[in-house]
Amino acid sequence: MTIDRLNIINDKLNKLILSFQKVLYEEDASFLSNMKTNNLAGDDIRKYQYWEWTQGVGLFGLWILFDRTHVRKYLDMLIKYYNEQIETGLPSKNINTCAPMLALSYIAEYTNNNSYLSLCDEWAQWIMNKLPKTKEGGFQHITSDTVNEQELWDDTLVMTVLFLANYGRITKNNEYIEEAKYQFLLHIKYLTDKKTGLWFHGWTFCGNHNFSEALWGRGNCWVTIAIPEFINMGNCEESVRRYLLEALQLQVSALKKFQEPSGMWHTIIDSQDSYLETSATCGFCYGILRAAHLGYIDDTYKQCAYKALDAVLNNITEDGIVNQVSYGTPMGRESKEFYKNIEIKPMPYGQALAILFLLEYLEDKDIM
């Protein structure tokens, strides 16, 4: 890679980082308006303002940034953020509000902060004992505004299961680790499309079907990210590890087939009349590179990430905002058209996934 090329990537990465905190603290007016009437727990909606899955993914991206660079100001940003939210008071627990706990568990381990560890313990116990379960013991994807009775969603693996697994690793709690393994296996059982190896967005035991059978982009990218991250925690015996990697291999092989010449993927992966979407593209590229760097998939798949780089860089503005990111997406229950009509707007997870992709790209020895 030329010096000029490296400078362009680092410049875009720096712009992303500078804009990240602004996006993290932006109010989501649509979400808050919805919560005024659809808040399942009935608690203060201001507590949800900055503590939801959208921030959770972003905080994980910021933790990875600190973990890779060891630049103290990134850790200080995280600590400041968590202390502010804890002081405000955290919202009621559900799948999506568990998402910020993943980064907090890493910070708790790194700093050995007993208050953080105690909070992680509280939320992990809630997941195990009080989170609604589907048939066969799946984590029901209950959110802040929707019960989603008897439903499994691929989002759950990143939003809740990775935290439970990581906290189990930190505390050497085998019960948590075994539960996380089971959730991965159960989600593979019901969400994998056997024709393509990609994943459906969801499954319901109320009728036993995959809703509109949408192969939704960002939902699939959660899988591409979650499997390598989970295995790298060191929690898996060989049989489970092998099973997860076979599922990842099937998915990545399919992603290669459906990647557009531009390097992007569509928001419905197998639908060319759905828009190209940046957050999923970044998630796929990060997950693919991460898996390759860890030795979980063949290095030839790294070409998918290389192919997407220019398109992603072009979708990062001079202000460090990531364009072409789809808004938070509930289940498309009746039709795939639902996904094609989701609003496009800058979101914290778009910033975070772009940061993760560029960081992992710069780790790649083949380009240096």
3-state SS, one letter per residue, for the chain: CCHHHHHHHHHHHHHHHHHHHHHHCCCCHHHHHHHHHHCCCCCCHHHHCCCCHHHHHHHHHHHHHHHHHCCHHHHHHHHHHHHHHHHHCCCCCCCHHHCHHHHHHHHHHHHCCHHHHHHHHHHHHHHHHCCCECHHHCECCCCCCCCCCCEEECCHHHHHHHHHHHHHHHHCCHHHHHHHHHHHHHHHHHHECCCCCCECCEEECCCCECCCCCCEHHHHHHHHHHHHHHHHCCCCCHHHHHHHHHHHHHHHHHHHHHCCCCCCEECECCCCCCCEEHHHHHHHHHHHHHHHHCCCCCHHHHHHHHHHHHHHHHCECCCCCECCCECCCCCCCCCCHHHHCCCECCCHHHHHHHHHHHHHHHCCHHHC
Report the pLDDT averaged over residues 340-348: 94
pLDDT attached to residue 367: 77
pLDDT band at 368 (very low <50, low <70, confident <90, very high): low
Mean pLDDT of 246-264: 98
Task: Tell me the per-residue pLDDT of 75-109, one tens digit each, with 9 for 90 and over.
Answer: 999 999 999 999 999 999 999 999 999 999 999 99
Instruction: Read off the pLDDT of each residue in 315-332 and give the average, rounded to a whole number.
Output: 95
Q: What's residue 187's pLDDT? A: 98
Q: What's the mean pLDDT when you consider all of the chain?
A: 95
Q: How confident is the model at residue 28 (pLDDT cuts 50, 70, 90)?
A: confident
Average pLDDT over residues 326-338: 94
pLDDT tens per residue, range 44-62: 998 998 999 999 999 999 9
pTM tops 0.85: yes
- Residue-range domains of the chain with CATH: 3-367 (1.50.10.10)
Tell me the average pLDDT across 269-285.
98
Minimum mean pLDDT among 27-41, 54-68, 199-213, 314-328: which range? 27-41
pLDDT tens, 199-251?
A: 999 999 999 999 999 999 999 999 999 999 999 999 899 999 999 999 999 99
pLDDT 10s digits, 140-173: 999 999 999 999 999 999 999 999 999 999 999 9
- Average pLDDT rounded to a whole number, residues 248-267: 98
| Residue 307 pLDDT exceeds 80 | yes
What's the confidence (pLDDT) of residue 106? 98
- Convert the pLDDT of each residue in 172-190 to its tens digit: 999 999 999 999 999 999 9
